[in-house]
Structure 1
Amino acid sequence: MERADAARNRRAILRATEELLATHGLEHVSMDRVAQAAGVGKGTVFHRFGNREGLMRAVVEERVRALSSALESGPPPLGPGAPPAERLAAFFDAVVALATKNVTVMAAFEQASTDRLNSPIYLSWHAHVAGLLASASPTLDADLTAHLLLGSLHSDLMIHLLRTGDSHRLAAGLRSMIETLLR
């Protein structure tokens, strides 16, 4: 169990990070600035998150927690019980919706990440997508196809579409790719 002061500091640090990202962009978000804005010592930020990448990962993890829960035990089609193709479409719709609401945070995480393919979020999403692809189409190289589909979310084009209000186009394109793959 986390101590009350540690939990309070964590929330303050994450909130300060989000505010700095929204007003200044990643290039102006340093551990010093975050500590100052959160009202904690710089050592507290480093101790808790390690580095700026760890801090950005924590901000994103806060945002994806509800999605992860829905994937595991939520209602269909996002959660268990729907056919694999429907779950895949619902997953990518949910990821696009999440990214749309959090474009600045997601873009900052993308920029700060040095080893995205080994992040817990990516590994979890890859396992989910690969499992659904394998169920829907056993002859498909589910592992590689999952990487390709998820890779489409990690692009300058995706950030551009989100920032210009074309998230519906992105979601429709992903659904179309999934339908074509699973025919």
Structure 2
Amino acid sequence: MDRLVVPFGKPRGERADAVRNREHLLRTAREMLAEHGADRVTMDGLAERAGLGKGTVFRRFGSRAGIFRALIDADDRRFQQQVLSGPPPLGPGAEPVDRLVAYGRARIAFLVEHHAIARAALDRTQPVPAGTQSMTQLHIRMLLVQAGSVPNLDGVAVQITAALEGPLLLYLSRPEPDTAVAAAAFTDFLGDAWQTLVERLLR
């Protein structure tokens, strides 16, 4: 999750049948999520529901967690396109502080909406990824530069990236909200806190 949209170098093309299988599997996985929730989505169940061999599912995703990583990556790319070329204030054209506030609110809403998928995408047999700059951190740093003089720029970018996504990582281990109203309230709670942090820092 949270990868840069623009790839380095020319990507290798997929065969047309592989692309069709991938899109069919992702659509089927979304249907299963909507009907049964993340806990009921399995490799065997996805293969059976999609009418494809289990080996095809394993080759495409590698593991059950890989299904959910593919789902969230697809949605994350659409989110990133809104940031890069969508309407302001999330997209270009607004003042940097307004864009930073809008980005945090939109990112929080995205992660809360996808928290069940993100939790299922964690492969507990693998170490937690660390040491790479996320799209969020790079975008925040760019907006901080545009906003004016910020002492210790790189450190501040790291710290407020953690302030944005750290609480949400903790939230991923909590039970899902009982209602959509509870999820919306939690989103507003974190969004308001994010706006306060940004405005106290830059205004």
TM-score between the two structures when normalised by the length of structure 2:
0.73
> Matches of residues 133-152 of structure 1 in structure 2 within 5 Å?
133-136=144-147, 138-139=150-151, 141-152=156-167
**Partner of residue 108, structure 1:** 117
Instruction: Measure how far apart 1:172 and its partner are.
Output: 2.4
Check whether the contact 1:84–1:135 (CA below 8 A) recurs between aligned residues.
yes
- 1:76-87 pair list within 5 angstroms: 76-87=88-99
CA distance in 2, matches of 1:58, 1:124: 17
Q: 1:178 to 1:153 in 2, by over 3 A?
A: farther
Q: Which residue of 2 aligns with 1:127?
A: 138
1:181 partner letter: L
Which amino acid counterpart does residue 130 of structure 1 have in structure 2?
R
> For 2:41 and 2:144, how far apart are their aligned partners in 1?
38
Q: For 1:29, which of 41, 65, 72 is the aligned residue?
A: 41
Cα pair distance change 1:182/1:159, threshold 3 Å: farther
Task: State the identity as a percent.
Answer: 38
8 Å contact kept, 2:72–2:117: no
State the structure with more CA Rg.
2
- 1:8 maps to 20
Separation in 1, partners of 2:194, 2:177: 16
Q: Are residue 64 (structure 1) and residue 76 (structure 2) matched?
A: yes
CA distance in 1, matches of 2:145, 2:176: 29
Bigger relative CO (Cα 8 Å, ≥ 6 apart): 2
Q: Measured at CA, do residues 161 and 135 of structure 1 come closer, stay the same or move farther in structure 2, by a change above 3 Å?
A: farther
Q: How many residues align structurally?
A: 179
Q: Which has the higher helix share?
A: 1
Instruction: Between 59-68 and 132-141, report the one with greater CA deviation.
Output: 132-141
Aligned to 2:8: none
Q: Which moved more, 1:154-163 or 1:69-78?
A: 154-163
The change in CA–CA distance for 1:174 and 1:81 in structure 2 (over 3 A counts) is same
Shift of 1:60: 0.9
Which residue in 2 is equivalent to 1:173?
193
Structure 1 counterpart of 2:32, one-letter code: L
- Which one-letter code corresponds to 2:16 in the other structure? A
- Distance change (3 Å), C-alpha of 1:14 and 1:24: same
Displacement, 1:181? 3.0
Q: Distance in 2 between matches of 1:171 and 1:60?
A: 21
Structure 2 gap ranges (5+)? 1-12
Query: 1:75–1:174: structure 2 CA closer, same or farther, 3 Å change rule?
Result: same
